[in-house]
Structure 1
Amino acid sequence: MDDSNALAWLRLSLCPGIGPVTFYKLLAVDDPRNIVESDEQTLSAIGLKPNQVSFIRKQSVELAERAFAWRENANNHILLQQGDDYPPLLRESKGCPPILFVQGDVALLSEPQIAMVGSRNASSGGLETARSFAAEFVNFGYCVTSGLALGIDGHAHQGALEANGKTIAVLGAGLDSIYPARHKSLAQRIAQQGALVSEHLPWIKPRAEHFPRRNRIVSGLSLGVVVVEAAEKSGSLITARYAAEQGREVFAVPGSIRHAYHQGCHSLIRTGACLVQKVEDVLCEIESLSNWSKKVQPTLFDQVIDKEELPYADLLANVGIEATPVDILAQKTHIPVQEVMQQLLELELLGHVVAVNGGYILKGRG
């Protein structure tokens, strides 16, 4: 795409309140170049709110041009969802980011990848498993993708690098705001030997709600997701849930029944994830996916068939696979916040929802 089109995509996608779903709906209405150059009346007519109209006509130009200035570095790239460089497997995923900011090898995003995720407070055995598995994966020609977090993520990246392989880190902040700070040197190595990826502008600081959402990119880029260690309420299970929704294979490494940080993996196995004892267990399963074909239907996490039969159906109908804050649920359902919190607690105890960073998500019933 030429720069004028890329600039228009940026201006529209950066608008507050316009997420991927809304962006693609607008894309179906008109070309982004026509939208961002429309007058206030036209923008209002297609459903944009006054603050969004104001943003598009004023602040969006400066922000988009600032992003273009960041791209002047030869190692920095901006990918558009309709562009040739956009990873094809991620493009197939519902809600894929309209824009990706990449530092490093762009072509690597379209190569076969295996995601590895797990606990930030992993055991020494879990860390060693992450490191050794990652090294074996890259030796078999796969790129290892993870989220640059402490614990399992970081050791998976390091294992791939130490084996002279390729690795991709998906950030929950802009690429100029590496988090956690202690992984800055690791991020620099990844940018040289792999790629850093984010859907956020380069200067955006990390925010709690960014991390659950970045997990859909980790899983969307990959043929399968390997969960090495995870507690029962671990954020890694969000990645597994996204993987199931996207038709990816989900794998879990078992551990001692006496340790809490293995319970999430055991829950995944009970609900359909593949039990993994060695790298070959993963490779055998995903071999049929290496031609980029997707599974017809995800088999992990049984879907709630009829929410009307469950308690607090109105509230439950507004909880999905993406974290929704309590105040947003209160707004959508017109239920007082205190009552929403009470209903969510009961739903969590019944096993229908789970609290995660940024709010609540549906919990599949195994």
Structure 2
Amino acid sequence: MAEICPLAQEWLTLGFIPGLGCALTNKLIQYFGSPAAVLQAGDKLQQVAGVGPELCRRLSDTSCVDAAKKRAATELHLLTQKNISLFSLQCSNYPASLRTIQEPPLLLYCKGDLSIFKAPAVAIVGSRAATEYGKRVSQLLACGLSDHGVTIVSGGAYGIDAAAHQGALQVGGKTAAILGCGIDVTYPKSHQKLFAEIAEHGALLSEYPLASKPEGFRFPARNRIISGLAICVIIVEATEKSGSLITARLALDQGRDVFAVPGRIDSVKSSGCHRLIQQGAHLVQGVDDILVELQLLDAGSGFAKTTQQKKGGMESEAEQVLMSFLDVYPVDIDTLARVSGLTTNEIHMLLLQLELKGLVRQLPGQQYEKNV
């Protein structure tokens, strides 16, 4: 059942006044104490820095305020109809970590369970056009963190974001997607099933009114929410001009730790991560690096070993020999035959056994790589 914050009509009315952005609205709420007080402030509005004559006129214009009230009433009706919750900055359920950031969202639309943020949350973000390596690492990190009770936060986009959400869901963990559009808008459209799973086992969140389109300016703005909800941000793949680096900068401004996953030095998709590492971001080689740094795991407890034990059983001597010639980079059967001394038939049989154990994966073009 949808949970609607107290005084929702007033919060929505203020939000629907044209020309009032998040920063200025936050300033007005801090000055006057409540949305209702702002709407009734009259000439006192001019005492607040940044409030110009035009905004004063709108907030004092009965027809403008009435139009905003009417839109607010419609919004409340739709929220109830669509089973979407609404939380204001002054709600007790509003995530505590988000209150402390610069320009916290005044309203959070939520489909799912906001209580998942009572657990520590970690953000995993990166390239939309991710490589198979990037998606695999994102999913692996999300699985490992979820196994330790961490909530996974991301942006619901293609590539790294989707892999992070899927990793959490795969092990029955909690995950939240922060949207750059209205919560009732599915973007990208192909993520309809994924978003439904996230809403069922975690939360979809947005600061934008219902039916808001996924316009470009909304995504950099929502990144402050992704980092604000988390105790740290992990960048998996990013170019030097990636939007994920905006999230990293916001995280640093908010006092959050930033982690970066290294990649190939000849890949532009890893250049942003490498730059972050050069600038002091924590280098990630596995889940342990994050858990230990966040004091969620004792150093040397060997989480990676536990993860490996979940994949199949012990390898035979022949399987171990073949595994020694495999890496996370793809290799074809002819190359394996040349370097290992095994016959092609032996390699085919061993690769099949290793695939069944989840230790090897086949890629297009008859290429194989370790499934780390």
TM-score w.r.t. length of structure 1: 0.74
In the alignment, which of 239, 250, 257 is matched to residue 258 of structure 2? 250
In the alignment, which of 31, 51, 57 is matched to residue 50 of structure 1? 57
Counterpart-to-counterpart distance in 1, 2:234 and 2:4: 38
Higher mean alpha-carbon deviation, 218-227 vs 3-12, is at 3-12
Counterpart-to-counterpart distance in 2, 1:8 and 1:183: 33
- Structure 2 residue 136 is the aligned partner of structure 1 residue 128: yes
What residue number does 1:229 align with? Answer: 237
In 1, are the aligned partners of 2:5 and 2:88 still within 8 Å (CA)? Answer: no
Counterpart-to-counterpart distance in 2, 1:222 and 1:2: 24
Q: CA deviation at 1:277?
A: 0.5
- Which ranges in structure 2 are unaligned for 5 or more consecutive residues? 298-372
**What secondary structure is seen at the aligned counterpart in 2 of 1:50?**
helix
In 2, are the aligned partners of 1:43 and 1:53 still within 8 Å (CA)? Answer: no
Q: CA deviation at 1:82?
A: 1.3
In 2, are the aligned partners of 1:172 and 1:198 still within 8 Å (CA)? Answer: yes
Counterpart-to-counterpart distance in 2, 1:49 and 1:220: 31
| Equivalent runs, 1:133-152 vs 2, <5 Å | 133-152=141-160
What residue number does 1:12 align with? Answer: 14
Percent sequence identity is 40
In the alignment, which of 267, 280, 286 is matched to residue 288 of structure 2? 280
Counterpart-to-counterpart distance in 2, 1:203 and 1:37: 29
**What secondary structure is seen at the aligned counterpart in 1 of 2:266?**
coil
- Structure 2 residue 87 is the aligned partner of structure 1 residue 79: yes
In 2, are the aligned partners of 1:77 and 1:106 still within 8 Å (CA)? Answer: no
Question: Which 4+ residue blocks in structure 1 deviate beyond 4 angstroms?
Answer: 1-4, 41-46, 51-56
Q: CA RMSD in A?
A: 2.2
Give the direction of change, closer, same or farther, for the CA distance of 1:156–1:95 in structure 2 (3 Å limit). same
Counterpart-to-counterpart distance in 2, 1:84 and 1:178: 28
In 2, are the aligned partners of 1:75 and 1:104 still within 8 Å (CA)? Answer: no
Q: CA deviation at 1:13?
A: 2.6
Q: CA deviation at 1:53?
A: 4.6
What residue number does 1:346 align with? Answer: none
What residue number does 2:31 align with? Answer: 29
Give the direction of change, closer, same or farther, for the CA distance of 1:60–1:45 in structure 2 (3 Å limit). farther
Counterpart-to-counterpart distance in 2, 1:75 and 1:111: 24
In 1, are the aligned partners of 2:9 and 2:73 still within 8 Å (CA)? Answer: yes
TM-score w.r.t. length of structure 2: 0.73
Counterpart-to-counterpart distance in 2, 1:288 and 1:157: 20
**What secondary structure is seen at the aligned counterpart in 2 of 1:287?**
coil
In 1, are the aligned partners of 2:260 and 2:283 still within 8 Å (CA)? Answer: yes
Q: Once the two structures are superposed, what CA deviation does each residue of 1:39-95 show, in whole Å capped at 9, x if it has no partner?
A: 6x5666763243455475132112211221133258421111111010000111111
Give the direction of change, closer, same or farther, for the CA distance of 1:82–1:3 in structure 2 (3 Å limit). closer
Give the direction of change, closer, same or farther, for the CA distance of 1:219–1:2 in structure 2 (3 Å limit). closer
- Structure 2 residue 278 is the aligned partner of structure 1 residue 270: yes
Q: How many residues align?
A: 288
Q: Once the two structures are superposed, what CA deviation does each residue of 1:155-183 show, in whole Å capped at 9, x if it has no partner?
A: 11011111111100000000111111111
Higher mean alpha-carbon deviation, 256-265 vs 64-73, is at 64-73
- Structure 2 residue 262 is the aligned partner of structure 1 residue 260: no
Counterpart-to-counterpart distance in 1, 2:164 and 2:154: 7
